[in-house]
Structures are given as C-alpha cells and as structure tokens.
Amino acid sequence: MKYPDFFNTIETITLQDKLSNFLGAFDEGTVEFSFLDVVKSAGHSCPTVLGAYMMTREGLKALYKDEVPKRGEIQVEFNENENEGVAGVIASVVTQITGATVNLGFKGLAGNFNRKNLMSFDANINANVRFTRKDSKESVEVVYDASMIPADTNMSMLMQRCIQNVASKEERLEFGKLWQNRVHLISQNTSHVISVV
C-alpha cells in the first residue's frame, strides 16, 4: 500500500483502553492511533480528516496533561448538528480515536465500558468541539481553522477538470499531489491552525 510519506511524520495518539485490556486485545490496554489509521477508515486524506485528528490529539493533550488519555471515558460535544457541513466526517474520526458514540457504540458489561451517549451535537460552545473527562469533569474546547494555509492557485481549476472527467492523467496526478501538499502544510502548522481553551 503506497501513500504520501508525510503521513508517517504526523505525531501519533496513544490512549489506555480498559475494555481492550479486559478483553485481552492490547497489552495493558495501550492503543495507538496514527493519521494513517484514520485515513484508512475515512477513505481519504483531506484538511477535514486531518483537522479532526489534530483537534483530538491536541485536545486530549491539554485535557490529560502528563496522563495517558482514557479511551471510552471521554465525552465529546460538537457545536454543529451532525448533518451540518463536515461535522459527520469529523465525528467519525473522533469516534475512532476516543471510542465515544451517540448511540451505536458498545453498551458495556455489567455497567462498565459503556461507549454510548458519550457524543452529542448542537452544543452551546464557542469552539468546534469540547472534550470532557468523565472522571474529573474537566473539559477543554478546541478550534480548528486551516484557512491561513491557502490552496495552490491551480488546485481549483484542476479539481473542476477532474470532476468533469476531462482532466488528463497528468492533471489528475497533479491535483492529488497539490491536495496532499496542502494537507502536509497544515500538519506542520499545529500552533497556527489549532487553538485549545
């Protein structure tokens, strides 16, 4: 499987998952997610998928500080409706990493490991997403804005040609290269595109 090299340069996210430990899936429940993992699930790499990944990574860093984040024990709230814009795409990435779901997740064993009802939408927050620890009730809000990382000036024209199915093979390859170049640039500018409050 071939993919852009920069995927491997993006910092991974490590969590501790009590359910994985209980069921013997991962030693001590330690689970690591990479950007490549979420790209595989999403089926593509774009600023939205990267933004969801980065918001989760930076939000959990701020929320847990020197502790390992606890997968399945994090509540997630979005300011948008699940059918609005790209909220659903972002939520899918966040679910993969945190385990939080609205109503489709694991319902638990004898009251433990419940992943349902940990995610909600239409929250009254001034950020894209809020992460809250179930144990301490501490929370952080995260804003993602990649608008300061502009797309190449040729990308829009190439996208239209690709969509209209009139692009040459070379143009299609160039479009994909330019698209991923922007994703790469965004990944290198965490402090400029992510704000945690």
Q: What is the pLDDT of residues 52-101, one digit of tens each?
A: 999 999 999 999 999 999 999 999 999 999 988 899 999 999 999 999 99
In a domain, 154, yes or no: no
Strand, helix or coil for residue 169? helix
How many domains does the chain contain in total? 1
Q: DSSP per residue over 30-94, as a string?
A: EEEE-HHHHHHHHTS--HHHHHHHHHHHHHHHHHHTTSPPEETSEEEEESS-TTSTTHHHHHHHH
In a domain, 159, yes or no: no
Which residue has 């950007």 as its token pair?
A: 35
Whole-number Å distance between alpha carbons of 124 and 68: 28
In a domain, 32, yes or no: yes
pLDDT at 110: 61
In a domain, 175, yes or no: no
Q: Going from the first residue of the chain to its last (197 residues), give the mean pLDDT of each consecutive group of 10, the final group possibly shorter.
A: 97 94 88 98 97 98 97 96 92 96 74 82 96 97 96 95 96 97 97 96
What is the domain range of residue 83? 5-144
pLDDT at 178: 97
The two structure tokens encoding residue 125: 């927050």
Residue 71 has a CB neighbour count (10 Å cut-off) of 24
Whole-number Å distance between alpha carbons of 10 and 19: 26
In a domain, 84, yes or no: yes
Nearest to 63 by CA among 9, 138, 120: 138
In a domain, 66, yes or no: yes
Q: Work out the mean pLDDT of the chain and round it to a whole number.
A: 94
In a domain, 37, yes or no: yes
